[in-house]
Amino acid sequence: MKLFVTLAIFSILTFGFTYNLDLKIQKASDELVQVSLVDTTIVFKREKGSSVNVHYKEFKDTFGFNIGTIVLLPGWNYSSLDWCTKTEMCALAKEWGFNLILVDMSKSIYSSQNYPQTRADMKRYATRTWFKDTLVPFFQKEYGVLLEGGNNYVLGLSTGGRGSTLLCLDLPEIFRKGASLSGDYNQASMPKDNLMNIFYGSYSKYKDRWTGEDNVVYNLDKFEVPFYIGHGLKDNVVPFAQAQEFYDSLQVLNSDLEIKFHVDSTAKHTYEYWASEVDKVFAFFLD
């Protein structure tokens, strides 16, 4: 299948042909999903909700070797391609021979599900369950990556950092290491957060949702993936206290787990900061 797609892409690049390949994938929930492949951009057309664009890049180092795959998650409503245009991520991936899977999760907050109280427009976006039930099996089957026990890593920033942490919690058999920059990990400590309120409903009425399977800190007894936590002290979007609590709680509950906690005393919630962390995250993944 991969060879067929590659030949199709070669035809596009060489002869200018327009080519679309439609596939059908059966989700665990039996919902039929249409998937269109165009070059290295995969568009998952979901029957319920907005489509999800995924950019897949295969890299080999100067000796022709590929040593792993990194899943990259953007901030809330950011493009995942910002990882390549605003940081050195793609350059480093090419240098070291990593595949990249860049997932445009749009306004997803990486919840396990939607709720009756979830605002209607927020229900359009893919959940973490979609990520696990559709995206991961697709890449396993079609490209032979994200296999259990493989050299797979996940990195997210801001809301994507929340996502990378939750995915490590859910899929320790898939991800060897993970990383989060400027992420949030315990929504229950921010009960007035507007985004969480319009998704879960109020904390006072639905505390179980705020502290359930979508809350990293409340599930740290099951967290077993080595992890890099980065945050700026001057972040005025996601409080630094979120990273501090995550790290401190891990030290109490799982002190033997490999955790790297890097604090930047001058950093804000910006790409200037996130770009400065990329080489450190790479070093953590390679160690």
- Which of 112, 242, 223, 226 has its CA nearest to residue 169? 223
Per the model's pLDDT, the better-predicted residue between 157 and 1 turns out to be 157
Q: What is the pLDDT of residue 145?
A: 95
For residue 15, being part of any structural domain is answered with: no
Whether 39 is covered by a domain: the verdict is no
What pLDDT, on the 0 to 100 scale, is given for residue 166? Answer: 98
Q: How far apart are CA 4 and CA 121, in angstroms?
A: 37
Give the model's pLDDT for residue 230. 98
Confidence class for position 249, pLDDT limits 50, 70, 90: very high
The number of domains in the chain is: 1
More confident residue, 39 or 246: 246
On whether residue 251 sits in a domain, the answer given is yes
Please tell me the predicted confidence (pLDDT) of residue 63. 83
The overall average pLDDT reported for the chain is 88
Residue 141 belongs to a domain: yes
Q: Is the pLDDT of residue 213 over 60?
A: yes
Residue 2 has pLDDT above 50, yes or no: no
Which domain range does residue 174 map to?
51-286
Question: Residue 125 domain-assigned?
Answer: yes
Residue 15 has a pLDDT of 27
pLDDT in tens, 99-143: 999 999 999 999 999 999 999 999 999 999 999 999 999 999 999
Burial pattern 34-66, b for ≥16 Cβ within 10 A else e, equals ebebeeeebebebeebbbbbbbbbbbeeeeeeb
Task: Kindly state the average pLDDT of the residues 75-97.
Answer: 95
Q: Is the pLDDT of residue 39 over 90?
A: no
Q: Is there a domain that residue 177 lies in? A: yes
pLDDT (mean) for 176-192: 97
- Confidence check: pLDDT of 1 > 90: no
Distance CA 254, CA 242 (A): 18
Q: For the residues 183-209, what does the mean pLDDT come to?
A: 97
pLDDT at 60: 86
Q: Model confidence over 51-72: pLDDT tens digits?
A: 999 999 998 887 888 899 999 9
Q: What is the 3-state secondary structure (H, E, C) of the chain?
A: CHHHHHHHHHHHHHHCCCCCEEEEEECCCCCEEEEEEECCEEEEECCCCCCEEEEEECCCCCCCCCCEEEEEECCCCCCCCHHHHCCCHHHHHHHHCEEEEEECCCCCCCCCCCCCCCCHHHHHCCCHHHHHHHHHHHHHHHHCCCCCCCCEEEEEECHHHHHHHHHHHHCCCCCCEEEEECCCCCHHHCCCCHHHHHHHCCCCCCHHHHCCCCCCHHHHHHCCCCEEEEEECCCCCCCHHHHHHHHHHHHHHCCCCCEEEEEECCCCCCHHHHHHHHHHHHHHHHC
CATH number at residue 263: 3.40.50.1820
The answer as to whether 16 is a domain residue is no
In a domain, 79, yes or no: yes
The C-alpha atoms of residue 92 and residue 286 are separated, in whole angstroms, by 12
